[in-house]
Amino acid sequence: MQPNEENAHEKRQEHDFSRLATRSVRPVLLTILFIVLAEFLMFSGTRGAAILLHTLILIAVSISTVSIKDKYIAWALQALMLLPLLRLINFSMPVFSEMVLYRYFYVYIPLFIPIFLIIRHQNFSSVQLGLSFKKFLLYLPLSLVIALLIAEVEYYIYPTVPLVPSLSFYYMVDIALIMIFCVGLVEELVFRSLLQTRLEGVFGRTLGLIATSLLFGVMSATHGIGYGIIFASLVGLILGYMFIKTRSLPFVALTHGLVNVFLFSIIPLLGPGLGII
């Protein structure tokens, strides 16, 4: 990020934060609470109720954004709409292959369409999206280390089953492409570039980061209520902080994708500590 771009971004953030005291954030808070409730229904085993609630959230928020005059609130709600949409696509998408890995492709690729429409409608700048490769080569080894540490901790808490049968070149390229350019890129566009940016504009930087991290934890926890949500929220907090400090989407998306590569292929096939320890 160039110095003048950083200053412009900071000024926009300060302007957004100064409006917080006079802004009604109730629609955003209610939407967040209902999304969390829908996820808890899913964790409790009432999948039908979770699907129904996510559908109602999507419809209600779609209608409300038309009548809300405060554009910052409307923009935040539009970003939040991506979460029930992601869950509904995930629920409805059948498995097209014996390899579960390919299901991620069919779930995440369609989300590029609403993401693109929101970016265009809200006139996101490249700085807000984090579309910068500045210092990326310096971030690359850091990304590998952070991803490995997160994956090792998660595997220690909840051992995973590999999504590929071996560590052959073909399978590693396969899982890397899907986890980095589908899962990592899409989720970081949703949670960091769009949602965190808009919630920062509504709640302020700190509360926006916390709210986004909690939503990331609820939506990403694959091990149910409790430790799964707490750990996923902490991971979201780390990724969100990385995004704030670097404003680099490639950095956080690569880190996110590499976590999944380690967690769903390398570590379960080689063992904890990459088979060295």
| pLDDT category of residue 221 using cuts at 50, 70 and 90 | confident
| pLDDT category of residue 17 using cuts at 50, 70 and 90 | very low
Q: Give the pLDDT confidence of 47-80 residue by residue, as tens digits.
A: 899 999 999 999 999 999 888 889 999 999 999 9
Q: Where are the alpha helices (DSSP H) in 68-204?
A: 71-80, 82-92, 101-108, 112-121, 126-129, 136-157, 169-178, 185-188, 197-203
Q: Which pLDDT does position 102 carry in this prediction?
A: 87
Q: Give the pLDDT confidence of 225-259 residue by residue, as tens digits.
A: 677 889 999 999 999 999 999 999 999 999 999 99
Give the amino acid at 137.
L
pTM tops 0.85, yes or no: yes
Cα-Cα end-to-end distance for the chain: 39
Provide the percentage of residues in the chain whose pLDDT is more than 70.
Answer: 87
Q: Which pLDDT does position 151 carry in this prediction?
A: 96
Q: Give the pLDDT confidence of 71-119 residue by residue, as tens digits.
A: 999 999 999 999 999 999 988 876 555 568 888 998 999 999 999 999 9
Q: Cα(186)–Cα(111) distance, rounded to whole angstroms?
A: 7
Q: Where are the alpha helices (DSSP H) in 223-262?
A: 227-246, 249-261
Q: Are 57 and 34 in contact (CB under 8 A)?
A: yes
The residue ranges of every structural domain in the chain are 3-275
Q: Which pLDDT does position 225 carry in this prediction?
A: 63
Q: Label each residue of 161-199 as H, E or C.
A: CCCCCCCCHHHHHHHHHHHHHHHHHHHHHHHHHHHHHHH
- Say if residue 42's pLDDT is above 80: yes
To the nearest whole number, what is the mean pLDDT of the chain?
A: 89
Q: Which pLDDT does position 43 carry in this prediction?
A: 87
